[in-house]
A and B are shown apart, each in its own frame.
Chain A
Amino acid sequence: MKDQPFVDTSPKVSDEVRKTTCYMCACRCGIDVHLKDGQVAYIEGNKDHPVNQGVLCAKGSAGIMQVNAPSRLQAPLKRVGPRGSGEFEEISWDEALDLAVSWLKPTRERSPEKLAFFTGRDQSQSFTSFWAQNYGTPNYAAHGGFCSVNMAAAGIYTIGGAFWEFGQPDWDYTKLFMIFGVAEDHDSNPIKMGIGKIKARGAKIISVNPIRTGYNAVADEWVGITPGTDGLFILAMVHELLKAGKIDLHYLAQYTNAPVILDAESGLLMRDKEGKQLVIDHATGKLTAFDQKGVSPDLNGKHTADGLVHKTVFHSMVERYLSAEYAPDAVAEKVGISAGRIRAIAAELARVAFDEAFELDQEWTDFRGEHHTKMVGRPVSFHSMRGISAHSNGFQTCRALHVLQIFLGTVEVPGGFRFKPPYPKPSEIHPKPHYKVTPGAPLDGPHLGFVHGPDDLALKEDGSPARIDKAFTWENPMSAHGLMHMVISNAYAGDPYKIDTLFMYMANMSWNSSMNTKGVIDMLTDKDANGDYVIPQIIYSDAYSSEMVAYADLILPDTTYLERHDCISLLDRPICEADAAADAIRWPVIEPDRDVRGFQSVLCELGAKLDLPGFVNEDGSQKYANYADYIVNHVRKPGIGPLAGFRGDGTNSGRGDVNPEQLDRYIANGGFFVEHIPAGANYYKPWNAAYQNWAVNIGLFDSPQPYLFQLYVEPMRKFQRAAEGHGERQPPEHLRERIKLTLDPLPFWYPPFEDNQGDENEFPFHALTQRPMAMYHSWGTQNAWLRQIHGINPLYLPTKVMQQSAFKDGDWAKVTSAHGSIVVPVAEMAALNESTVWTWNAIGKRKGAWALEENAPEATKGFLLNHLIHELQPPKGDGLRWANSDPVTGQAAWFDLRVKIEKTTVPTESQPNFATIKSPVGQGPSELIWKVGK
């Protein structure tokens, strides 16, 4: 045998490692970017980072292909051909900004609401909203309305925080983890890490999802529920738990509004003169404010006055949920789960929550001043996302899940679901919506917020919607994230009014970010009688040649994520953990090789050119040179800025003066800042005096904000009362009955609207999408490595359907909804609810976009379900435009979609098939041989 060859086992790995924050999805992991000769050589996870602790997903590792993607825009573009043609000329930044100012300045002087500024996959909403507020338009939101606002709003109104990435299971102690409607989500790596951790301990996972992929594939028990029925399933479990008395009575009495007395006449919560909710003290039998020291709230308290007996919230809940309509036998067929299995899961939840309860030897003091020597743990945790929220009954379903959590006593206790700072916080301390427009001046406050009754709605004096998306109106009163999916449709219809300029950032509205894609394309390109576009001006910022680029008049090319500053701020959506507050930055670890600028820096300049207060100094000069300048020097309120770390002389956390060295300190610290919550303050946070004081110290609140979980959401009752005829502000007649039904202050289930629109027999299948773990919407599809994993997206059909219609993998089907048809390739999937079909989200591409070749499979075989989903419900003959949205929050009801499937002859390509867009960046190279090191 000859000698072994020499292998260099210690090659130089890189010249330098620069630590920043990933932006390949919303997870925001820390990354180590290895550079060789100034170029990105390799990206791996940052081991010190609180979010990912060194691990990194496929998207994150493929960032190198995103940073070098041929689809990167090269320079500002001005449209020269018709909209949609893709014909542009490159212009200078000066020309681009002058053009934008020439549109935006007159609008601001005259009627600022005629600018609609919406951002998509934006991670700088506290900044972009600040800009929009200073401009003075009420028409600002990000993409939450079509993402998962039901989950956010239901969580915040009920428990003072939501799932998303705003909380997490107590991975160290949980023994049973139950997930609803989770494919891949914002907390992408932490959930994978958590699953690995609890599985190593032998903990169990129950997954509820019509489709058994990803996390559902590794679950011990899979519940292949019928889409849109999760609320019914959850309330059936609530029914069983109540009936068996397997609920946490102490928790309900101490920490929730279950014992609060309901006025028998109005259905409003009884309050004292200071507005504090009232309970009956078990010891005295008297009405007492909920927060008094020593009070023992009686879950079965009664208060007799004026001949009426007023009972507790809990009493109403018992009456509702013990009703036979929620019995497992009554719901089994509808949800597609046998009654015996519903009972088994309820029993397992009860067993683990109560029989495996444990105590931590940790003293703490509650907000009533009572001292506790232990912390009781209930090791059941939940997580949930889009699958249950993107329905027209999603808000009530998300609320039902929170009720289940609360009945088991598993929120903010050891082993349960835990909030991450700045949550928990009561819904009352969030801003309310602001919409008062003054020409030439800023808006009167932040756009988005939480309404607490009809008085908070964003309505003009004549009762018409103040906002272009009709957020915070009777159609969807609690639309905390706005309705981005309605902006183009409403602006085109002039309902409630026309606009001058549509300004969007990272929102692929002419493709996968819209319902009814073809309709939206027509709205963007349609002209009025004068030959002018109905939506007169469109400005768009994106780093890549997405489908939306072709439909804008002016393109402001953004940088990639490794070429920019960003702050992942506590004012926005930070990267905190349940045991720590944390935030992070991005910084230019490489410089752009193109004539592009970070969008937020462009807004700093544009704001100054428009003389926006907040963006100019007293002498009228530009206040923030760029986004980095803003991040360091902006003061939101005294001592509080975008970044919480290294303030003042560099030693202050949370509160402190501006520190000019702040970004350097972040970079030296690996791109992030973390401040741990002290032991004893890190559970029972809404009621824990030590946590509340810590939160005040770090600047999350200005005073302690303890609160009760709101099983009964009183603001909803106020909307119902208005619909019943009480109060000055009255809903329009056509919405009264819907408000009375759907704004119920206690969770209930109703069928998704689409179920009632068509004939269930005509459209027998539910059609869903799932986000692939290795790809994140369209921004990943251009990625040379990731598209080899997910380059095509067949429509997956259950085995029974494949057999009945004699389909084989690769056959083609015509898929028809009440709104339209598509023709697509199919494939079999056995681990699938029998009445469900599905595909991967946003793989389909338009020809000419993303620098892909015209015959790329994404364009020839890929497809979008979006073509089958309308932003409006089918006309009801009343001349009104009814949004295809949740009636509480306005969340786009993507997952209500119902279809029929027919075998069809093989087409040349997926249908519909759109004309090729002329690429503003050409096409990518045919071969990649990538190695930057010499």
Chain B
Amino acid sequence: MTQLPTSTDRKLGLVIDLDTCVGCHACVISCKGWNTENYGAPLSDQSAYGANPSGTFLNRVHSYEVQPEEGAAQLIHFPKSCLHCEDAPCVTVCPTGASYKRVEDGIVLVNESDCIGCGLCAWACPYGARELDAAEGVMKKCTLCVDRIYNENLPEEDREPACVRTCPAGARHFGDFADPNSNVSKLTAERGGMDLMPEQGTKPVNKYLLPRPKDKMEEIDILAPLLAPIALEPKGFMAWLDKTLEKI
């Protein structure tokens, strides 16, 4: 079994804003593109043009309908990738040490050359955030774009995960949760960022911002002040108009 570090210097992760995510899947495909070409084995696709297309993705968007007690149903788009947990069960379950959590930044990675594709880590992850690549036989997962965020071949402004750089709605934020003044720490504090399934005891680093309350507009009856009638028919209206125009 593999040990977790007792602590990490930094806690890099994502804040994902469910209030703003429009479910466009930009992050899903940007991730697929970067990670097919970069870290480790490419993310392969089986039955790519066939009956059961099924490829490896490190990030997926699920959509859920929510029916409140009162009012209209809502649709929530829920992007999900590895949450880089502090108590990551996928690491401790790994029989070869291939899965590990980096001491310097807390990123959970798979060292593919040590991975035997046994799949235990995927079973252990309560979030379903790991996928075994069918072509390569190794476990794939979000690397937080470890090969982008420190990459000296990229302009500094581009040293962020591909999903964050591409998100059109700005619903994804990257930063260091160990730093209380970081953008992600502040956002989490301001908006009450939540752990996903805290009862699992995994202490996920990534945080989710909940959708703001919706459909709260109260109906207005005919006498509400904002729409108090100045006239009910054209003649009266034009008289009001003349009076008003005189004042302008």
Please report A residues at the B interface, Cβ cutoff 8 Å. 1-2, 4-5, 7-13, 36, 41-45, 47, 52, 54-62, 64, 70, 188-189, 192-193, 195-197, 199-200, 212-222, 224, 240-246, 249-250, 282, 298-300, 315, 318-319, 322, 338, 340-341, 343-348, 350-351, 773-774, 782, 784-789, 791, 799, 829-832, 851-853, 855-857, 860, 923-933
Contacts and interface: CB of A to CB of B under 8 A. Distances in A.
Interface in B16-56: 19-26, 28-30, 32-34, 36-39, 42, 44-55
A489 B239 CA distance: 55
Interface stretch (B82-90, B118-126, B167-175, B194-202): B167-175
11 contacts: A9-B146, A10-B152, A42-B34, A196-B168, A196-B169, A221-B214, A299-B245, A343-B221, A343-B222, A350-B226, A928-B55
A670 to B, nearest CB: 14
B182 interface: no
Interface in B51-91: 51-55, 57, 65, 67, 72-77
Given A61-B33, A249-B248, A347 B76 contact: no
A218 B214 CA distance: 9
A9 B29 contact: no
A351 B228 CA distance: 12
Contacts of B168: 52, 55-57, 188-189, 192-193, 196
Nearest to A348: B217
B248 A250 contact: yes
Contacts of B220: 340, 343-344, 347
A42 B161 CA distance: 14
A931 B37 contact: yes
B113 to A, nearest CB: 8
Given A10-B151, A193-B168, A338-B219, A215 B51 contact: no
A546 to B, nearest CB: 15
A193 B169 contact: yes
Nearest to B110: A5
Given A212-B72, A831-B73, A856-B51, A773 B22 contact: yes
Contacts of A45: 165-166
Contacts of B154: 13
Contact of B151 (A9, A213, A789): A9
Interface string B134-170: 0110000000001101111110011000100111111
B170 A341 contact: no
A139 B164 CA distance: 47
A785 B55 contact: yes
Complex A-B, nearest 5 residue pairs according to Cβ-Cβ distance, in ascending order: A340-B219, A924-B49, A830-B73, A192-B168, A196-B170
Nearest to A190: B168
A789 B28 contact: yes
B15 to A, nearest CB: 12
Interface in B204-247: 211-212, 214-222, 224, 226-234, 237-238, 240-242, 244-245
Contacts of A43: 33
Contact of B28 (A8, A58, A192): A58
A300 B234 CA distance: 11
A57 B102 contact: no
A346 B19 contact: no
Contacts of B233: 322
A61 B26 contact: yes
B165 A54 contact: yes
Contact of A11 (B65, B151, B224): B151
Contact of A773 (B24, B109, B166, B167): B24
A188 B25 CA distance: 13
B55 A788 contact: yes
A298 B246 CA distance: 10
Tell which of B48, B219, B224 has the most Cβ of chain A within 10 Å.
B48
Nearest to B114: A5
Given A195-B169, A282-B245, A924-B49, A786 B29 contact: yes
Contact of A7 (B53, B77, B147, B240): B147
Given A192-B24, A830-B73, A61 B30 contact: yes
A218 B19 contact: yes
A63 B122 CA distance: 30
A47 B157 contact: yes
Contacts of B48: 784, 924-928
Interface size, B (range): 35 or more
B151 A215 contact: no
A198 to B, nearest CB: 10
Given A9-B146, A212-B72, A927-B135, 7 more contacts: A4-B103, A55-B168, A217-B75, A343-B220, A784-B53, A928-B55, A929-B44
Of A1, A282, A852, most buried by chain B (CB within 10 Å of CB) is: A1
B80 to A, nearest CB: 14
Nearest to B53: A788
B218 A344 contact: yes
B177 interface: no
A212 B74 contact: yes
B230 A244 contact: yes
B165 A200 contact: no
Chain B CB within 10 A, most for which of A351, A774, A932: A774
A43 B135 CA distance: 23
Contact of B238 (A60, A318, A928): A318
Contact of B49 (A240, A851, A931): A851
Contact of B24 (A282, A774, A787): A774
B7 interface: no
B111 interface: yes
Given A11-B147, A249-B241, A931-B36, A350 B51 contact: no
Contacts of B170: 193, 196-197, 200
Given A831-B73, A930-B36, A1 B50 contact: no
B22 A215 contact: yes
Given A55-B166, A195-B20, A853 B30 contact: no
Interface centre among B147, B214, B220, B242 (most CB of A within 10 A): B220
B33 A218 contact: no
Nearest to A321: B234
Interface in B88-120: 97, 100, 102-103, 109, 111, 113-114
Contact of A322 (B3, B228, B232, B242): B232
A343 B224 contact: yes
B227 A346 contact: yes
Nearest to B101: A4
Given A5-B100, A856-B49, A42 B109 contact: no
A341 B71 CA distance: 13
B128 interface: no
Given A189-B168, A243-B227, A250-B248, A218 B28 contact: no
B42 A931 contact: yes
B25 A58 contact: yes
B5 interface: yes
A192 B102 contact: no
B20 A319 contact: no
A329 B170 CA distance: 40
Contacts of B245: 249, 282, 298-300
B144 to A, nearest CB: 11
A832 B73 CA distance: 8
A9 B227 contact: no
A343 B219 contact: yes
